[in-house]
Structure formats: C-alpha cells, structure tokens
Amino acid sequence: MRLRPRLSTLLLCTFCGIGYNNAALAADSYTLDPGHTFPRWQVDHFGFSTHHGQFNKTTGKLVLDAKAGTGSLDVTVDAASVATGDPALEKHLRAADFFDVQKFPTLTFKSKSMKFDGGKPVSVSGDFTLLGVTRPITFQIVRSNCAMHPIVKKAACGAQVEGTLKRSDFGMKFGVPGLGDEIRLSIQVEAIKD
C-alpha cells in the first residue's frame, strides 16, 4: 500500500491542524475523539461501482507545538470495526482474505514528521502497519482547524485527510485486479486537548 504523494490515515493524521487559532501555544497533547474520527475508504468493485466502507473504532494521541511547527501522531484502528452496511461482506472483510482480524487486530500509524505551510499543517509522514507489514506513508491534510470546542469547552483540533494506497503492497491481494488494488482514503478527525 504505497501512498502516492497526494495521499492520505488510516489514519488518520488530520489532527495536525493545530495552533493557528492560538488553541495551542506550546507542545500540547490531544486525544482523538472516537465519536468524530472515522477512516473511510473506497475501492473499485469489478468496474461496476465504487464500494465504500469505514472503521468505527479509532484511538490515538496527537502532540503539537504550533509555534515550532512540529508534532507527533500515533493512531490505532480496530480492524474488526470495519463497516459497510452489509453484514456478510463485513464478515468476509474480517477474515484471512482481507484484514485477518484474529491474527492482526489493529492497523497503526506512527508519524515521523509533519509539514507546515503558513502555520498550517499540510501533510504528515510516518509508518503505517497493516497485516503485519510496515511501510512509510505520507498523508495530505486538505482541511484543518483548531479552536475552542463549543460543546466540551476545551481546545480541539479537527482535519480532513485524503490519499491513496495499494493494498497489495501490504499483502492484501484477494480479488486483485478485478476488485481494485488502489484504495482511496478520506478521514475525518477530531481531537480534544488533554
């Protein structure tokens, strides 16, 4: 699953949108909000349609120093939480042909660097692990914002991350090439300051 330069998170990097609304004045720690963080994916379905799905359980930590333009991001996705609206398909996706959740219960992303432009995060790079295979990935952050959350009354950051990868690069080869190899990712993320 080699990501292309324009790419996306699980995971999930979108949290990087921090500090430019003065929400983060130094190295601040944020916890991903599992009710508002969902990695979504889409894949070509034998040329007939584009199939969509998401993961319903994601946890992680974001640490940002907006002034220095640095940060770190660790994200863990529960592979068994994959959802499509079709119980039979979800059962197959959890099996050895795809996510093999008994053997590999999580997908993870651990950042190594974040790129900022004009004080805003625009990408995050790090190691993505799927099916026990770890590869470097860069995610593009197409939208981000940090401000006081109107409901929880704490500093919060949110973002939209996008990108593509090849699942066969991680050993997930079932159905290729009829069932698409390229996976498009669109990840909504919200994180609340600790």
Q: pLDDT at position 52, please?
A: 96
Cross-strand bridge partners of residue 107: 77
Q: How far is 183 from 1, CA to CA, in rounded Å? A: 8
Structure tokens that stand for 194 in this block: 């600790």
Q: pLDDT at position 26, please?
A: 65
Residue-averaged pLDDT of the chain: 85
Report, as ranges of residue numbers, the positions in the chain whose pLDDT lies below 50.
1-25
**Domains identified in the chain and CATH numbers:** 14-76+109-193 (2.40.128.110)
Q: pLDDT at position 159, please?
A: 86
Q: pLDDT at position 20, please?
A: 43
Q: pLDDT at position 183, please?
A: 95
**Residue 85 dihedral angles phi and psi, to the nearest 5°:** 90, -5
Q: pLDDT at position 10, please?
A: 36
